[in-house]
Structure formats: structure tokens, C-alpha cells
């Protein structure tokens, strides 16, 4: 039997355990019955999984329900360590961008066919969004994500799209391969990608890829309220700052590799 693209092939019990972790993550705190209903399993099955996860330190039982345990923090920090060279090279550059723009600055990589935030700084004018370090988002919805995709081999882009699709998050999200391919050409020509309310109705962003040895290591983006990121500030000033920033990161990474 041949598996269809995107079809899960793993062990059901493992999948259920991680569905439970994901559900607790999204809820913050959640009671057993609600969790079982959300995951779609029997209360007894949920209790068995939760008991095991609690014994291992991955969840904590409290009066108002279950929450995630700090054992996951240990794993998360170790996972982030994989990107230590990129993080080290980017840190002072992101800090400089914050001081220059006072907006939200993001460092994004592609992993598991998604855009993942591995660094984020917010200036005094930066607005809260549904993005944080560790957050996974559909890669085609973000300026940083499109900047990375535009510099990937076509077969890799095909694989990502086959796994995640091109769902529309807002009315402005690109949802066809043809539109995406057309934008890729513009991104490669101008060096930056724009997010014009494609991931959130009230947020615009500009992203630029970090390229080393013709490979996109990640991308940096500047995001802010759509009503503030307009005109030359959005189309010219921020892109110019970003291009200088990623070039500095690229030079630091090249020096580190040598």
C-alpha cells in the first residue's frame, strides 16, 4: 500500500500522546474531560496518557487541570541549540534593528515544512501578535517564510506545499502555486518579501533571507501594524534596513564557517 502525500505513517499511541501535549499547550490549562473530547479519545485513554506524561514530567496536574511541565523546556532549549551559530550571528543585528525601527523583529527558519520563530525582539512600539519563539506557522503566509521559499530548490518547495497546502489565513493570503511562483521571482529580484496582511488582517511585514553558499539559512522580518507600515516606510525604508542587516549576518556566518 502506497501512502498519500501528507498521510501520517507513525504509531497511533505516540501520535495521541503528542496530540495531548499540543492540546494542553494551546489551552494553557485543561481538565481531563475537555482534553479527551478535544483529542477525540475516551476519558480512560486520556487518563492513562496523562498519568504517564505526569510521571515523566511532561505535564503537571493542578486543581484547575493539567498544564505542560518544565521537562519540555529542557528539550526546547536543546532543540534551539542546533541554531546557535545563526542565533549568535543574528543577536546584535536584531537588537540594532529594534533600535532603528522600534517594531517587532523576527528570526525565522524552515523546519518540519513550516516557518518557525527562533528569535524575536519587540520595540516599545511593537504590538502583541500570535507569534513567539517556537511558534510554527504555514510558511507561505509570512514575509520571512516566502523569502526562504523563494531561495529553495523547486522540488523542496513542491514537497512543502504537498505536505502543508496553501490555506488562506486571511483574504490576502496567496493560495495558488502560480501566484506564489510569480512572487518568488519578485523576491529574488528585489531581495525582500512583503507580507501585506497575509498572516493577520492588521499586520504587515517585510522579510529578507539570510543566504550562505546559495542556501537560505533563515530570514529576518520586521512586522508592525498595517496602518503604520505604509508608503515609503514599508516599501523602501524597512527593506533597506533589512538588506543591510541580513548582509551583516551573512558575513558573520561566512567568517564563522572559515
pLDDT in tens, 2-57: 344 445 556 899 999 999 999 999 899 999 999 999 999 999 999 999 999 999 99
Q: Is pLDDT at 244 greater than 90 in this prediction? A: yes
Name the CATH topology of 12-75: Arc Repressor Mutant, subunit A (1.10.10)
Q: Which strands sit side by side in the sheet containing 193-196, from one edge to the other?
A: 136-137, 114-122, 104-111, 215-225, 203-212, 193-196
Contact 220, 106 (CB under 8 A): yes
How far apart CA 186 and CA 250 sit, in angstroms, is: 21
Contact 150, 188 (CB under 8 A): yes
Contact 57, 71 (CB under 8 A): yes
At 177, list the grid cell: 502555486
Q: What is the pLDDT of residue 127?
A: 75
At 138, list the grid cell: 504555514
108 SS3 class = strand
Q: What is the pLDDT of residue 80?
A: 84
Q: Is pLDDT at 139 greater than 90 in this prediction? A: yes
Contact 208, 220 (CB under 8 A): yes
The ranges of the chain annotated as CATH 3.30.450.40 are 82-257
Alpha-carbon separation of residue 88 from 55, 91, 111, 225, 256 (angstroms): 36, 6, 19, 28, 10
Q: What is the mean pLDDT of residues 154-173?
A: 94
58 SS3 class = coil
Q: Is pLDDT at 241 greater than 60 in this prediction? A: yes
Per-residue pLDDT band at 231 (split at 50, 70, 90): very high
- 82-257 placed in CATH 3.90.1200.10: no
Q: What is the pLDDT of residue 66?
A: 96
Q: What is the mean pLDDT of residues 57-85?
A: 91
The ranges of the chain annotated as CATH 1.10.10.10 are 12-75
125 SS3 class = coil
Q: What is the pLDDT of residue 34?
A: 96
Q: What is the pLDDT of residue 258?
A: 53
Contact 123, 101 (CB under 8 A): yes
Q: What is the pLDDT of residue 6?
A: 47
Strand partners of residue 204: 196, 224
What is the pTM assigned to this prediction? 0.84
- Percent of the chain whose pLDDT exceeds 90: 83
Q: What is the pLDDT of residue 223?
A: 96
Is the Cα dihedral 131, 87, 140, 186 positive or negative?
A: positive
Amino acid at each position: 500500500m502506497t501512502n498519500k502525500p501528507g498521510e501520517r505513517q507513525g504509531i497511533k499511541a505516540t501520535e495521541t500522546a503528542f496530540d495531548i501535549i499540543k492540546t494542553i499547550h494551546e489551552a494553557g490549562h485543561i481538565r481531563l474531560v475537555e482534553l479527551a473530547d478535544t483529542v477525540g479519545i475516551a476519558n480512560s485513554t486520556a487518563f492513562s496518557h496523562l498519568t504517564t506524561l505526569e510521571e515523566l514530567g511532561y505535564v503537571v496536574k493542578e486543581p484547575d487541570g493539567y498544564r505542560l511541565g518544565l521537562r519540555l523546556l529542557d528539550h526546547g532549549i536543546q532543540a534551539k541549540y542546533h541554531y546557535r551559530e545563526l542565533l549568535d550571528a543574528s543577536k546584535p543585528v536584531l537588537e540594532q534593528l529594534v533600535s532603528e525601527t522600534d517594531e517587532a523583529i523576527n528570526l525565522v527558519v524552515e523546519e518540519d515544512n513550516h516557518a518557525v520563530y527562533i528569535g524575536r525582539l519587540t520595540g516599545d512600539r511593537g504590538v502583541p501578535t500570535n507569534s513567539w519563539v517556537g511558534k510554527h506557522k504555514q510558511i507561505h503566509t509570512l514575509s520571512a517564510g516566502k523569502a526562504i521559499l523563494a531561495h529553495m530548490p523547486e522540488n523542496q518547495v513542491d514537497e512543502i506545499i504537498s505536505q502543508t497546502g496553501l490555506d488562506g489565513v486571511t483574504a490576502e493570503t496567496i493560495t495558488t502555486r502560480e501566484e506564489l511562483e510569480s512572487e518568488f521571482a519578485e523576491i529574488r529580484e528585489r531581495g525582500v518579501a512583503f507580507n501585506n496582511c497575509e498572516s493577520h488582517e492588521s499586520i504587515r511585514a517585510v522579510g529578507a533571507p539570510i543566504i550562505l553558499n546559495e542556501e537560505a539559512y533563515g530570514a529576518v522580518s520586521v512586522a508592525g501594524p498595517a496602518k503604520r507600515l505604509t508608503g515609503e516606510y514599508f516599501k523602501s525604508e524597512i527593506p533597506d534596513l533589512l538588506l543591510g542587516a541580513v548582509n551583516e549576518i551573512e558575513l558573520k556566518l561566512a567568517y564563522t564557517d572559515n
